[in-house]
Structure 1
């Protein structure tokens, strides 16, 4: 790819991130933008302003030493200077019109810089970093709509683009030596190999054979646990799970039993529970208890990546279960299109080398591991991308239905506290050893 082609690609990614963010904001009323505080998620206008501020810090200040658009607002847009509760204070922040003006001014400046200036390796890296960070916050904006009960996002189509046949059961992954993660900055790699620091450096690992489910755990399977009084049986829950359970409902957070039938809330609508869709919005503790009830276990994150990608030493490394072609809607439920509402056996074209489906998109999959750095970890340009989560968060893998296509890849690691259920989390299981 030539320099000009790369610039056009980056400009396209920037414009897509801008337009998706604007649509997520402008499709809400002023009343919805002024909603009261909700713990765990950020208000939409703060998400927009914070994303623009990130470009100011990691593009303009690092590359040009430029003073920010409004230095008086820097601490308020910076997530490490303003607490979650204060982000919902409308007296601290500008309204829709002023935030949009700030947002678009910054984006226009970034686009102009890309067009006019030399595309150095550092500049390309920082553009990608800021755009990918923006896409992480697009996912956060979608969580917010689900948490608060806003209407579905503009990209939601609610269709079934890639039906599959009703496969089931487990697959066996043989013992062997496997390649994990992405190359670090000291290695030569292509622009499309961009990764966050927690995915690096690449290494090899020896694993015993294991047996993993082809499919995600479904609503039907999880309902059987609920109907079997799973939430009332302390022997199924670990100590941490029992502590969480003391303040939780006795079913997944967005379920309800209405007139004798289970329903699930999708944004602002209560719909009949789709029994074949993946169970969604469950905490690590719920996944762990279900496994104990079913006589199964969660995979380790190494097992998960091997089952998803199957990369072996000496072979061409593949970023996705199907190879290295960019993901699309025939392979992955992503970009806020179908919102994990389709059967777990759909998307057969996205199947992994071992026959596992929907390992990318649909739901972030809980693993049994704590979120810790790989050996040889180096802090990236943004020192808090991963380091604040090490030790007390659990690893999830695969992305979700709300994840942007440019972020979906088999090496991507995300960290969530085990009690989180507001994000699009689900799980698949392994047979006990």
Structure 2
């Protein structure tokens, strides 16, 4: 194998090791549904193998189907998560055998494929990037399921750098155009393309994500009970749901506690807040006299280099993420303290824009001008409209293979089980 193929093989091995680590639990835990918002873990495990079979073996490799009879079961668009426990799912042992058999054939396809082919699935190993990122995204989903399960001891812990105090609350982004999206990153998804110029007025954006201490102040000052801070839809949701704090937070006297992967601990006030919905983030921003940044504002503050007049792959440049720059890849099962990564700052001085928590933006998930679906419409196109809000940046649970300044995530504005937080922005004062 050449160097590119060896790198792809290593990425395939790493993501599979991760999937198997998250499904080492007892079979009962794997086959149960812990929330109607999530699939049983065993569904995710077999689904990543089926997706790999569909795209690498059949679409790119021209290989006859291995298990065509299970295609319908693992079609994410045919069966909502709440209904998946009723399907005839492969059991844990059979699912592991299936994905192992698929993977052996995938490596054979990798060995034979021409990465310089004109075929867009083959070129630069796009189809392998597709399945690697897809599996990492399901691994993050499995972590959210494990958090909802409340079972202790199922995820690893690790050390994170200390935070630091001081520094400006906001950074300034001058008016002017920038290039949004990408035309060059080989594994970028269709919704990140094409690159296009966006001209923005000047604005301020928070240097750091909103922290637990600041969010607790919002709660203490009655933020959940004052309709002035909520959109009409958000206030309706607030009344229906009865929420009064981030998901997994519990009040005990004067102190806030949280449940995190089966353990109860004091809420660390110096961490970014997580497990909040878009509606909660929007209400906090209004209470703070600010707003959520638009998706374009977020991307410019994160990835644009105004001196070089080009986009960066990561806020700091082209170098791959490492433990001094960002909290990615499940180094620890929590966000890092605020101010922990000054070396990961963007050209404008914004910090912790990748890793730690997905950040809600004020934008709906819409196509870029000139968008073309590839390799299938159901990845992005069917979600465009005014149902899903855009999230940016990646969380502590996201792998670097699926994180970049142009990467777009999206979800319903009510979702809280995902590892979401936010930062605020404001327009320049006239």
The CA deviation at 1:313 is 9.2
Q: Retained in 1: the 8 A contact 2:333–2:397?
A: yes
* Aligned mate of 1:249, from 236, 243, 249: 243
The CA deviation at 1:167 is 2.8
Q: Map residues 335-346 of structure 1 onto 2, 5 A cutoff.
A: 335-346=329-340
1:359-412 CA-to-partner distances (Å, cap 9, x unmatched) read 001111111111100000000103211112211100111111111111111100
Match of 2:10 in 1: 12
* More displaced 10-residue stretch of structure 1: 240-249 or 193-202: 240-249
1:185-229 CA-to-partner distances (Å, cap 9, x unmatched) read xxxx4xx54201111100111111101111110100000111111
Provide the alpha-carbon RMSD of the alignment.
1.8
In structure 2, runs of 5+ residues without a counterpart are none
> Structure 1 residues 431 and 377, CA, compared in 2 at 3 Å: closer, same or farther?
same
The CA deviation at 1:117 is 4.1
Q: Retained in 2: the 8 A contact 1:277–1:343?
A: yes
> Structure 1 residues 419 and 194, CA, compared in 2 at 3 Å: closer, same or farther?
same
Match of 2:144 in 1: 143
Q: Retained in 1: the 8 A contact 2:140–2:397?
A: yes
- Tell whether 2:55 aligns with 1:58: yes
How many aligned positions are there? Answer: 421
Q: What secondary structure, in the 3-state scheme, does the structure 1 residue paired with 2:272 have?
A: coil
The CA deviation at 1:69 is 2.0
The CA deviation at 1:253 is 1.2
The CA deviation at 1:63 is 2.5
The CA deviation at 1:248 is 3.4
TM-score (ref. length: structure 2): 0.93
Q: Map residues 17-166 of structure 1 onto 2, 5 A cutoff.
A: 17-26=15-24, 28-89=25-86, 92-121=88-117, 122-123=121-122, 124-151=125-152, 153-154=154-155, 156-161=156-161, 163-166=163-166
The CA deviation at 1:259 is 4.2
Paired with 1:153 and 1:324, the residues of 2 have a C-alpha distance of 34
- Tell whether 2:341 aligns with 1:347: yes
- Tell whether 2:326 aligns with 1:332: yes
- Tell whether 2:205 aligns with 1:212: yes
1:323-355 CA-to-partner distances (Å, cap 9, x unmatched) read 000112221111122234431211111111111
> Structure 1 residues 153 and 181, CA, compared in 2 at 3 Å: closer, same or farther?
farther
TM-score (ref. length: structure 1): 0.93
Q: Retained in 2: the 8 A contact 1:204–1:313?
A: no
The CA deviation at 1:149 is 1.8
Paired with 1:256 and 1:134, the residues of 2 have a C-alpha distance of 33
Q: Retained in 2: the 8 A contact 1:173–1:307?
A: yes
Paired with 1:35 and 1:366, the residues of 2 have a C-alpha distance of 30
* More displaced 10-residue stretch of structure 1: 227-236 or 32-41: 32-41
Q: What secondary structure, in the 3-state scheme, does the structure 2 residue paired with 1:296 have?
A: coil
Paired with 1:160 and 1:45, the residues of 2 have a C-alpha distance of 31
> Structure 1 residues 384 and 228, CA, compared in 2 at 3 Å: closer, same or farther?
same
The CA deviation at 1:103 is 1.0
1:272-302 CA-to-partner distances (Å, cap 9, x unmatched) read 0111100101000001111111111111111
In structure 1, runs of 5+ residues without a counterpart are 184-188
* More displaced 10-residue stretch of structure 1: 136-145 or 257-266: 257-266
Q: What secondary structure, in the 3-state scheme, does the structure 2 residue paired with 1:256 have?
A: strand
